[in-house]
Structure 1
């Protein structure tokens, strides 16, 4: 991101799905040689809603599942094909910093409040998305996940974790806010739900079945990180679950707080972030 911004370019759609790992060691191999290494692709037939074959020219006959790179990476009998180099892709929403676009195609969960509430586009949008992306890559979880990209639900998640939005967003711009939160905050500076009972169990917009028990939502970045990491198994049930050390939670939350400041001008440049302590970790240990 620092390289892009240094060249006067904003990505406009920065998120984990647009960061790829570079593959090496397969160039120049024949198809048979590649299949011998990666295995024969798994596929499934495409049928109609009534489970019948089709001859439609507008639909494929079959779908091919992606390569299971996790299994290949952990197979000690195979060479190491996944390099340590990351590639940023999908520049369909990118724009020149001097000529910001009027709209972004980035999913709501990576949008900063200034864009959601005011339609303001700029370098700050990339930096906010970077904060959400770093959290997601490290934990395997989305920081401000919503049911269906609902803007009000997203703002509720943001306010619960980061606190009351500044004026005039809180009292005027966010028109639906009064339906979810009171004007004032509690003694700890946290937003207060208008629903009775525990703030943490109160339903928000877009939530179906509010009476179903849910774990309390995190009310700070440190609480969100304390839930640890969980990487889903993309080819079956289960996944990998780990704790995050208290030391890292303290340092990483500091980095994220800088990127997720409500005022876009207060967010640090991407180039300055390289000096943050979180990027200098060589060994994570609890004090």
Structure 2
């Protein structure tokens, strides 16, 4: 998905495509959690886009559309024959541009289960999520006692990126303290036990939660709370220009969804199954996905 966004001139999927992506992610993670599996490494590079009509192409059709494969010879360092333990050549990955803005009906595949685990069999799990998407309990070294809630936080951070043009937490470097500051900038103060335990808090915030004077002079930070960041997704920053159904309540529903998924306390985050009942999911995400399925079925019937 990330490469698809990079190939797009505006870094965004069409509005209904973005809604459909949200529905598919919720259904996929709900299925994993219902079967007792925590993914543990959700990020955009593990949310793949399935190519439609790819599996039905003949070899000739495949080569005609995408070019013949490029082979690279493999040689052993000791000069001995490759066989029987190594192939004679490798195939370079096919370079394929999939601009996000042209993907009207994306189909999402959740991939990379190398660090996933069965929750009931893993009492002290270790997360492998990239730090920018990691839940706050990871930053404050608390035991991951509710790993599926960690998946929900991570999915929320990634969903913001998938729905818009930019990441939710923006830092010049993936520094843990900068990310914590961005979390607070977006969501407000964390639980007191974390606020008091944050060793470098005084570099960013006063005890009352305001920016420290020196930091404010250097980088001129402002509080960009969650509603402001939803406006800044790239879909339009006023009710008149916004692509979301503002008058119908979609903007408010999105805020409620993100605020729930990004609750600091793991126990306060909704389950993946509960995400399917949120107003945003029911009124906007699922209908977009259902339209996609209906169109796909109609095309299949037309080909018969």
What is the TM-score normalised by the length of structure 2?
Answer: 0.66
Q: How many residues are paired up? A: 233
Task: Name the counterpart of 1:91.
Answer: 113
Structure 2 residue aligned with 1:114: 137
Aligned to 1:248: 250
Pairing 1:272–2:264 present = no
1:183 corresponds in structure 2 to: 207
Q: Secondary structure at the match of 1:87?
A: strand
Report which structure shows greater RCO (CA 8 Å, sep ≥6): 2
- Choose which of 182, 193, 210 in structure 1 pairs with 2:211: 193
The alignment status of 1:3 with 2:31, answered yes or no, reads yes
Match of 2:40 in 1: 12
Gaps of 5+ in 2: 1-28, 78-88, 236-240, 289-304
Quick check: 1:67 aligned with 2:96?
Answer: yes
Are positions 1:22 and 2:46 aligned together? no
Quote the Cα distance in structure 1 between the aligned partners of 2:223 and 2:276: 27
Establish whether residue 154 from structure 1 lines up as the match of residue 159 from structure 2: no
> What SS does the aligned partner of 2:48 have?
strand
State whether residues 124 and 143 of structure 2, in contact with CA within 8 Å, keep that contact through their aligned partners in structure 1: no
State the partner residue of 1:236. Answer: none
* Closer, same or farther: CA 106–100 of 1 in aligned 2, 3 Å: farther
- After TM superposition, the structure 1 stretch with the greater mean CA deviation from structure 2, 159-168 or 32-41, is 32-41
Alignment deviations for residues 219-265 of structure 1 (CA, whole Å, 9 cap, x no partner): 211100111327xxxxxxxxxx9754544322101100001111100
Residues 9 and 262 of structure 1, relative CA distance in 2, 3 Å threshold: same
**Contact 1:38/1:72 (8 A) holds in 2:** no
* Aligned structure 1 segments of 4 or more residues deviating by more than 6 angstroms: 60-63
| Pair 1:32-2:60 in alignment | yes
RMSD: 3.4
Q: Are the equivalent residues in 1 in contact too, given 2:166–2:233 (CA < 8 A)?
A: no
Where in structure 2 are the equivalents of 1:207-226 lying within 5 Å? 219-226=224-231
Structure 2 partner of 1:166 = 191
Hey, what's the Cα distance between the residues in 2 that align with 1:178 and 1:71? 41
Which structure dedicates a bigger proportion of its chain to strand? Answer: 1
Gaps of 5+ in 1: 44-54, 75-81, 185-190, 204-213, 231-240
CA contact (8 A) 1:103 1:119 kept: no
In the TM superposition, what is the alpha-carbon distance from 1:34 to its structure 2 partner? 1.1
**Pairing partner for 2:265 from 263, 266, 269:** 263
Instruction: Give 1:278 deviation, angstroms.
Output: 1.1
Q: Decide whether aligned partners of structure 1 residues 72 and 168 sit closer, same or farther in structure 2, where only a CA change above 3 A counts.
A: closer
Q: Following the alignment from structure 1 to structure 2, what is the Cα–Cα distance between the partners of residues 131 and 117? A: 19
Residues 164 and 202 of structure 1, relative CA distance in 2, 3 Å threshold: farther
